[in-house]
């Protein structure tokens, strides 16, 4: 069973070491149009952030493999071609020998067991940190997906605004040519129009940069997404939870908190191992010899046990233990800090949800009001009672952008709460 376990661990190390580099080079093109679910499926593998976390996990697994070999059988063959001059003879004689030696540590009084415990806890910690990294990537992709949609909505709003101001400027230009308005009025209108044009240009550039950031988060830096579908957001209908119950759930299941707990345990086991590193060991040995010159005291074979009991090691035990104690103290402090930070994060997120809930009601009222105004002006336009719909359309588009911004922030906060309470939001992408 131990051999099978080692093979599995070796395969895991090899898989982690190469799989993500392969996927980076061979992934398929992004679908167009791109949905949120499709984008989020890239949160599981491929990105350098994830590869780094998996490399750290592979290192922890390899450390466990190394620890398991500490008490393995040691065997060697020694070949020694010698020529010697005995005290009773002035000529060289053949004094060569060959030796086969096999030794095995039978018991080390807890040293290797503590090292294995430390390695196991480290693996558990790195597995949880790798999962937390994927959750973080999930949130990043969600935010950048939303930012692309918001960039498009914002561009529509500023484009409408610029169009209105240009039409106004164009009419004033015509009136100026007829001498109906002064240069000052025309120049002021032109300045306002050009400021709007600058805002439109900046918004248009943001459309591309937001898509570039999303492509990088998806590990597709050269595959810029074109069209995105605005998702349905069931999170908008969720009831805001009580902080106390949410905090209890988070302290029990948070991936990072649990990973830091395992890290503390790993350091405690390492400390126990350091105290036994230079302790007693019980060994068994077998030795087979072949001598070309037979002498009294030389044995063709020997077998036996060896109990080593060190009584001085130059304070190496104390020095190493002191170093591990400092590492343990640091890991315990990080664990305590993480719990404090978790409390504050959850409190802040719940407060934001309550604020956004109020803002959402205002956004819905604003959107409805401007929608009614737009419908009214559209009817007047169709009856040729009004020459332009631009101002109403611009105001409605701005309200739509503000409402979407609020909704997307709510959805993101719920995803953050899910990750803080221990849920694994990412899904394995099918290739």
Cα–Cα dist 220/36, whole Å? 15
- Segment 226-251, tens digit of pLDDT: 999 999 999 988 999 999 999 999 99
**Average pLDDT of span 278-302:** 90
**Average pLDDT of span 74-98:** 87
Contacts of residue 298, Cβ cutoff 8 Å, sequence gap at least 6:
289, 291
- Give all strands (DSSP E) within 35-179, no chain letters: 74-80, 83-84, 93-94, 97-107
Let me know if residue 51 belongs to a domain.
yes
pLDDT for 22 equals: 43
Q: Are residues 136 and 237 in the same domain?
A: yes
Q: How far apart are the first and last CA of the chain?
A: 33
Which pLDDT band, with edges at 50, 70 and 90, does 171 fall under?
confident
Number of domains in the chain: 2
**Average pLDDT of span 193-216:** 93
C-alpha 301: how far from its chain's center?
A: 58
Q: Are residues 262 and 195 in the same domain?
A: yes
Cα–Cα dist 159/172, whole Å? 20
User: How many C-beta atoms surround the C-beta of residue 13 within 10 A?
Assistant: 19
Average pLDDT of the chain to the nearest whole number: 84
Structure tokens at 251: 């302290």
pLDDT for 422 equals: 92
Let me know if residue 431 belongs to a domain.
no
C-alpha 395: how far from its chain's center?
A: 40
Q: Are residues 66 and 79 in the same domain?
A: no
Structure tokens at 16: 């982690």
Q: Are residues 292 and 357 in the same domain?
A: no
Confidence check: pLDDT of 352 > 60: yes
Q: Comparing C-alpha atoms, which of 350, 105, 395, 121 is closest to residue 244?
A: 350
Cα–Cα dist 140/214, whole Å? 9
Let me know if residue 349 belongs to a domain.
yes
Cα–Cα dist 397/374, whole Å? 10
pLDDT for 156 equals: 85
Q: Are residues 86 and 127 in the same domain?
A: no
Confidence check: pLDDT of 78 > 70: yes
Instruction: Tell me phi and psi for residue 47, to 5 degrees.
Output: -70, 145
pLDDT for 368 equals: 55
The last residue of one of the domains, among 254, 289, 312, is 312
Q: Are residues 81 and 188 in the same domain?
A: no
Q: Are residues 168 and 239 in the same domain?
A: yes
Cα–Cα dist 228/213, whole Å? 14
Q: Are residues 222 and 93 in the same domain?
A: no
Confidence check: pLDDT of 289 > 60: yes
Which pLDDT band, with edges at 50, 70 and 90, does 168 fall under?
confident
Q: Are residues 349 and 321 in the same domain?
A: yes
Let me know if residue 224 belongs to a domain.
yes
Q: Are residues 242 and 391 in the same domain?
A: yes
Which pLDDT band, with edges at 50, 70 and 90, does 76 fall under?
very high
Higher-pLDDT residue of 352 and 26 is: 352
pLDDT for 431 equals: 37
Host domain of residue 80: 74-107+281-312
Q: Are residues 288 and 267 in the same domain?
A: no
Which of 37-46, 141-150, 385-394, 414-423 bottoms out in mean pLDDT, i.e. has the lowest?
385-394
Exposed, middle or buried, 8 (CB in 10 Å: 0-12/13-18/19+)? exposed
Let me know if residue 217 belongs to a domain.
yes
The CATH number of the domain holding residue 226 is 1.20.1600.10
Confidence check: pLDDT of 164 > 50: yes
Confidence check: pLDDT of 89 > 70: yes
The last residue of one of the domains, among 294, 312, 330, is 312
- Segment 119-151, tens digit of pLDDT: 999 999 999 999 999 999 999 999 999 999 999
Confidence check: pLDDT of 179 > 90: no
Confidence check: pLDDT of 428 > 60: no
Q: Please, which contacts does 351-360 make with residues 24 or more away whose CB atoms are closer than 8 Å?
A: 352/409, 352/413, 353/240, 353/410, 353/413, 353/414, 354/240, 356/406, 356/409, 356/410, 356/413, 357/240, 357/410, 359/406, 360/236, 360/403, 360/406, 360/407, 360/410
Q: Are residues 86 and 229 in the same domain?
A: no
Let me know if residue 184 belongs to a domain.
yes
Per the CB < 8 A criterion, the answer to whether 211 and 144 are in contact is no
- Predicted structure pTM score: 0.81
Structure tokens at 285: 């040995």
Contacts of residue 183, Cβ cutoff 8 Å, sequence gap at least 6:
176
Let me know if residue 294 belongs to a domain.
yes
Which pLDDT band, with edges at 50, 70 and 90, does 384 fall under?
very low
Confidence check: pLDDT of 343 > 80: yes
Cα–Cα dist 311/272, whole Å? 18
């Amino acid at each position: 069973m131990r051999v099978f376990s080692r093979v599995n661990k070796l395969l895991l190390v090899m898989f982690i070491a190469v799989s993500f580099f392969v996927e980076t080079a061979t992934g398929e093109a992004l679908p167009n149009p791109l949905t949120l679910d499709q984008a989020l499926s890239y949160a599981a593998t491929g990105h350098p952030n994830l590869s780094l976390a998996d490399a750290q996990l592979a290192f922890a697994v390899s450390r466990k493999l190394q620890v398991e070999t500490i008490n393995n059988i040691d065997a060697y063959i020694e070949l020694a071609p010698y020529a010697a001059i005995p005290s009773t003879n002035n000529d060289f004689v053949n004094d060569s020998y060959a030796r086969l030696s096999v030794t095995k540590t039978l018991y080390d009084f807890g040293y290797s067991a503590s090292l294995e415990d430390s390695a196991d806890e480290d693996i558990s910690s790195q597995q949880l940190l790798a999962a937390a990294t994927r959750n973080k990537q999930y949130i990043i992709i969600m935010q950048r997906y939303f930012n692309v949609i918001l960039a498009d909505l914002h561009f529509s709003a500023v484009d409408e605004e610029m169009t209105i101001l240009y039409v106004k400027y164009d009419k004033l230009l015509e009136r100026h040519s007829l001498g109906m308005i002064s240069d000052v009025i025309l120049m002021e209108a032109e300045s306002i129009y050009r400021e709007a044009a600058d805002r439109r240009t900046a918004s248009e550039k943001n459309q591309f940069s937001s898509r570039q950031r999303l492509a990088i988060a998806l590990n597709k830096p050269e595959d810029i997404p074109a069209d995105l579908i605005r998702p349905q957001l069931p999170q908008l209908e969720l009831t805001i939870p009580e902080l106390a119950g949410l905090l209890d759930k988070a302290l029990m299941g948070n991936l990072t908190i649990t990973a830091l707990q395992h890290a503390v345990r790993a350091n405690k086991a390492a400390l126990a191992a350091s105290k036994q590193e230079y302790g007693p060991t019980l060994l068994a040995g077998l030795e087979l010899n072949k001598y070309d010159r037979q002498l009294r005291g030389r044995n063709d074979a020997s077998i036996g046990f060896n109990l080593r009991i060190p009584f001085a090691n130059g304070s190496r035990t104390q020095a190493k233990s002191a170093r591990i104690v400092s590492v343990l103290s640091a890991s315990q402090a990080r664990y305590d800090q993480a719990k404090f930070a978790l409390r504050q994060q959850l409190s802040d997120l719940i407060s934001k949800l309550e604020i956004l809930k109020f803002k959402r009601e205002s956004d819905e009222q604003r959107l409805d009001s401007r929608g009614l105004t737009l419908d009214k002006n559209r009817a007047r336009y169709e009856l040729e009672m009004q020459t332009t719909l631009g101002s109403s359309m611009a105001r409605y588009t701005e309200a739509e952008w503000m409402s979407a911004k609020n909704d997307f922030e709510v959805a993101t906060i719920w995803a953050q709460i899910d990750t803080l309470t221990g849920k694994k939001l990412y899904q394995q992408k099918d290739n």
